[in-house]
Amino acid sequence: MKIYTFGALGTTRVEILWSLRPKDRDPIFTPYIDGANHIEVDSIQDCEIAIYPRRVFHPETLEFDDRVYDAATKAKRYNKPLIVDGTSDSDVFLNLPNTHILRCGLYKSLQQPFETECPFWSNYRTKNKLDALKISSKPKKPTIGFCGTTSSMGTLSNIAKFAAPSILTKYILSQGKRASQVDIRLREGMSLKLREIAVNLLTSDKRLNSYFDLTNDHKSYYSNDENNRIALENLFIENTSKSDYILCVRGTGNYSGRFYMALNAGRIPIVLDTDLVIPFEDKLHIIKISLESLAQIGDIILEHFENTTEGEFKAIKAQNREVYRQFIAPERFFNNFINNIVE
């Protein structure tokens, strides 16, 4: 595969380019790097596919890189397919219909044909430990896990979490058209409020076993503290090891990293449907709960549990792990994505 990169630096954060820029990458990408038959060419005229070398939204500030428009114009001029990495917490619409855009947190009702939801990948040490978790037999009661924060930071986020009525939070987050019009900091607070509502409902339901580790007293996972990061990873893995179902609720962006980690572990995600796009949803066993039905979350989980036999229970968890390995892991996802574009 001949790829034109617009002069990508070795430090590029565009993961799909890491087969050409392999230095110092997390080992979770090693199978993709080693298995990709990619060659960089110096001229866009000689390539089969072009890849924009920078994330168009800065991962921390979400500042937009408008130089991507020049790249899109050049690719169109030479009739070459162009991949754009728009993965971030931002859901700002990118009007680039002649490109192939990777996003995180697309709204299903707003998704365009040129947009693809990109999975979240944990680091290699976490992946290894999740891979090693045993897929256990069906217990006497449904066991639901959640490890994460419900604590908001920032004035607008706090206002949304504590002042916005629950009915308004569910109304806005259930539909992309409404949610995308609200300030991202307000959406963050609403998402945390949604997590807290779900956690409280499940904790109070005596028909269920709940293992909830709230990390509100920890630093953010994305703070520059490796010891804190490792502690949070280990807490999540320990929590997941005790659970069969994992509660997955959006964060600042309209996606959940826990969802992909639950699949990796061979667990059953319980997804609060905030107009989500779920890659390979037709191959997965998940419980998707509309926000209108959030008050019945315990009933919905119990019905799934009681209507699943012992054999089926282990089989669907094993299938979730296998779908992750066959379609969602970086080496599978990226190769399929590129090949589908070229074909």
Which domains are delineated in the chain?
A: 2-103 (no CATH), 124-328 (3.40.50)
Q: What's the pLDDT band for 224 if we cut at 50, 70, 90?
A: confident
Rounded Cα–Cα distance for residues 16 and 84 (Å): 10
pLDDT tens digits for range 277-336:
999 999 999 999 999 999 999 999 999 999 999 999 999 999 999 999 999 999 999 999
Cα 90 to Cα 64, 253, 281: the distances in Å are 10, 6, 22
Q: What's the pLDDT band for 22 if we cut at 50, 70, 90?
A: very high
pLDDT tens digits for range 280-291:
999 999 999 999
Share of the chain above pLDDT 70, in %: 100
């807490």: which residue's tokens?
235
Rounded Cα–Cα distance for residues 36 and 30 (Å): 10
The phi-psi region of residue 182 (left if phi > 0; otherwise alpha if psi is between -120 and 50; otherwise beta) is beta
Q: Give the dihedral sign, CA 258/260/261/266.
A: positive
What is the full DSSP assignment across 170-199?
HHHHT-HHHHTTS-HHHHHHHHHHHHHHHH
Helix orientation angle between 184-203 and 297-306, rounded to the nearest 10 degrees = 60
Half-sphere exposure of 113 (CA within 13 A, CB side): 3
Task: Sheet with 143-148: list strands edge to edge.
Answer: 209-214, 143-148, 245-248, 268-273, 287-290
